[in-house]
Structure 1
Amino acid sequence: MQQFDLIIVGGGLAGASLALALRNTSLSIALVEGRAPVRPAGWDARVYAVSPANAEFLDEIGAWRHLDTSRIEPIRSMAVAGDRGGRLAFSAYESGVSELGWILESALMACEFWEGLKRQSNLTLFCPACPAAMAVDADRAVLTLDDGRVLGGRLLVGADGRDSWVRQSAGLAEAVTHYGDKGVVANFETERPHAGVAYQWFREDGVLAYLPLPGNRISIVWSTPNEHADALLDLAPDALAARVAEAGGGVLGDLSLLTPAAAFPLRLIRVPKTVAARVALVGDAAHGIHPLSGHGINLGFQDARALAQLLQQASPWQDIGSERFLSRYQRMRKEETLLLQQTTHALRGLFASRLPGAAFLRNAGLGLTDNLSFLKNALVRYALGYV
């Protein structure tokens, strides 16, 4: 058996960022991942909005400064539209910041993280490798890999996504709400420049977002009922581009498809307990939210940041795998996670509702928020990650 202080199962963005955040510690770390990330030939259709607070975190772990800036687009403003005329706008300039966030390809971050991991002296990579069995005793977690190797660690972290094997194996229950929607993603070239504006439309057929990419390019996320999502996926490239352009009111002119459309099911995943003896969850293993807020990966990065800080501050005599110690991490992350889950779930329900008066309420709410500067500024501060 190979012994470590920390075993991380899952080398995606949350798990890799946690490992990198601990690169200057004395902790011995094992990272278990099924396959290393690869860059697609063109633009990755899976993109994320990274908040300024999380950009600072990525800089702290040595990744942000090495990212290819030609593949990153700052968000200068946001324009939100309801389905009955409601409007809400956010501006970086009016909020006193240089940008509201950045749009990055998932693969861009993942590959840069991986380069850092390969150079990390206190880390052992097990890739390709998959967990086969785990057991927890009084002083360690024992992980058996599918090739028969056995790893022991004082703490095992599940960073293995929404269908987390670690979560299931540790008996940490989850409550899943299936929305009956899918998130359709694709990248397009635009006829007119987007000027760093991120657009979002709350429509009768779901929520459509245009996310700015470098040059005259955008990435879209269309959260829509399964039947409509499947119909979008079945469209020919030109027909899909025309449909997406029409749904956005032609705000950027004609569109041309750059990457094939793909879709993923949308679920709300609540995990009441994200820690147990010798086990902690981060990222999508610990929570799942609707993508309309754009905060999914930001939550995951803040999980990694909080857990890394807790481990760095631990005294030598402390047992980093004890549930009592790990409960501090759970408390640190509970409020933000619960707030975002409840908010996005409520917004999704409000804009999906066909009850009498719902359309008036949701669009009036957008307009009221747009006219209350103190409320807008509070929302912007929260989106930036500084509240």
Structure 2
Amino acid sequence: MAVFDLIIVGGGLAGASLAVALRDSRLRIALVEYQPPRRVGGENAGWDARVYALSPANVEFLRTIGVWKHLAAERIAPLRAMQIFGDQGSTLNFSAFETAVPDLGCILESSLMACELWESLKRQSNVQLFLGQKPVAQRIDADTASLHLADGSILAARLLVGADGRDSWVRETAGLPAHNRPYGEKGVVANFACAEPHHNTAWQWFRADGVLAWLPLAGQNISMVWSAPDALAEELLQLSPQALAARVAAAGGHRLGELQCITPAQAFPLRLMRVPRTVAPRLALVGDAAHGIHPLSGHGINLGFQDARELAERLLAAPAWQDIGELRFLSAYQRARREETVLMQSTTDTLRRLFASPSPLLKNLRNLGLGLTERLPVAKTVLVRYALGAL
């Protein structure tokens, strides 16, 4: 049996960033991951279809843990402005200039961050990696959490962290309930080269056939996320690259001229997932194992990174005598993360329901709300500064 202070199951963005954030701690860490990340097609490949919009607060988190400086700057696009369109001509505009900040955030590829986090992990003396391994059993005792791996290895620690995604094996095995509500939609993602410069602006359209977003990538490229009903999503996936580019360009009013598809379209099912309890004795959840939200806000990975930041800060501040698996200690982490998570889940779910409704009354109200917010600078500033992590 190998004994550690902390076992992290799942080496995605949230789990890996937690381990890296603890690089200067006295904690001995085991990280279990079946399939480590890799750059699609190698280091000189084209664009990863999965990209994220990082808030400035999470850029600072990655900078603090020493990862940001190693990311390829030429693959990062600063977000300077955002335009949101209702389905009756109403608009809402945000800009970094009006908010008196350099950027509203950054757009970058998932695999870019994941691979750099793993490079940091490989150099980290207090982390032991268990690669190509799946856990097959876990046991929580009064003093220890133990994990049995498929190769027969047994790991033991004072704290077990589930960072293994929405279908978390750790969460399910521990008996922590997750309440799922499928949206009947898929998030269709693809990247495009565009004929016109995007000027580091993001666009989002609330349409009768879902929510369409264009995010600026480095160079004259964009990433598309179309949260579409299942039938439309399947239709989009079946289109040729040329037909998909034409469809997406038309849906966005040809705002950036002709588009050219540079990554194949992919799709993932969308659902709201609420996890009432994200901790238990000797157990804590982070990232998608702890929550799931609609992608229209772009906050999914931001919530995950903030989970990792909060838990890491508490572990780093804990005195040597503190039992880091004690429920009282972990409950403080749960309380600290609950407000932001519930707020973002409720907000995105309400917006999605509001704009998905065919009711003429709701259609008028939602477009009136967008237009009214556009004319209230104080309200706009509050919204933007919350998204920046400045509130």
Equivalence for 1:317: 321
Which 5+ residue runs of structure 1 have no aligned equivalent? none
Determine helix, strand or coil for the equivalent of 2:158. strand
- 1:3 alignment counterpart: 3
Deviations along 1:87-120, one digit per CA (max 9) or x if unpaired, are 0000000100111000010000000000000000
Displacement, 1:72? 0.3
Write out the 4+ residue segments of structure 1 that deviate beyond 2 Å after TM superposition. Answer: none
Distance 1:197 1:122 in 2: 41
1:237 to 237, 241, 264: 241
What does the per-residue CA deviation read over 1:165-187, in whole Å, with 9 as the maximum and x for residues that have no partner? 00001110010010000000000
* C-alpha separation in 1, matches of 2:386 and 2:69: 24
- Say which SS state the counterpart of residue 94 (structure 1) adopts: helix
Greater mean alpha carbon deviation, residues 355-364 or residues 216-225: 355-364
CA distance in 2, matches of 1:86, 1:351: 13
Aligned to 1:222: 226
Once the two structures are TM-superposed, the CA of residue 356 in structure 1 deviates from its matched residue by 2.8
Opposite residue 326 of structure 1, the aligned amino acid is L
Separation in 2 of the partners of 1:312 and 1:36?
A: 26
Q: In structure 2, how many angstroms separate the alpha carbons of the residues matched to 1:373 and 1:365?
A: 14
Partner residue, 2:151? 147
Partner of 1:21: 21
Q: What CA distance in whole angstroms lies between the structure 2 residues aligned with 1:385 and 1:181?
A: 29
State the SS of the aligned residue for 1:198.
Answer: strand
How do 1:1-387 and structure 2 match up within 5 A? 1-40=1-40, 41-387=45-391
Give distance in 2, aligned partners of 1:103 and 1:364. 30
Q: Deviations over 1:137-160 (max 9, x none)?
A: 010100001111000010000000
> Deviations for 1:22-48, whole angstroms, at most 9, x for unmatched residues?
000000000000111110131000000
Cα displacement string for residues 344-377 of structure 1 (whole angstroms, at most 9, x for unaligned residues): 0000000000123111111111000011000000
Amino acid at match of 1:13: L
Aligned-pair identity (%): 65
Q: How many residues align?
A: 387
TM-score when normalising by structure 2: 0.98
Q: 1:263-307 CA deviation, whole Å, 9 max, x = no partner?
A: 000010000000001100000000000000000000000000000
Other structure's SS at 1:115 match: helix
CA distance in 2, matches of 1:101, 1:169: 37
Distance 1:294 1:283 in 2: 14
AA in 1 matched with 2:6: L
CA distance in 1, matches of 2:150, 2:108: 33
Counterpart of 2:165, as a letter, is G
For 1:321 and 1:64, how far apart are their aligned partners in 2? 30
The Cα RMSD (Å) is 0.5
* C-alpha deviation, 1:252, in angstroms: 0.2
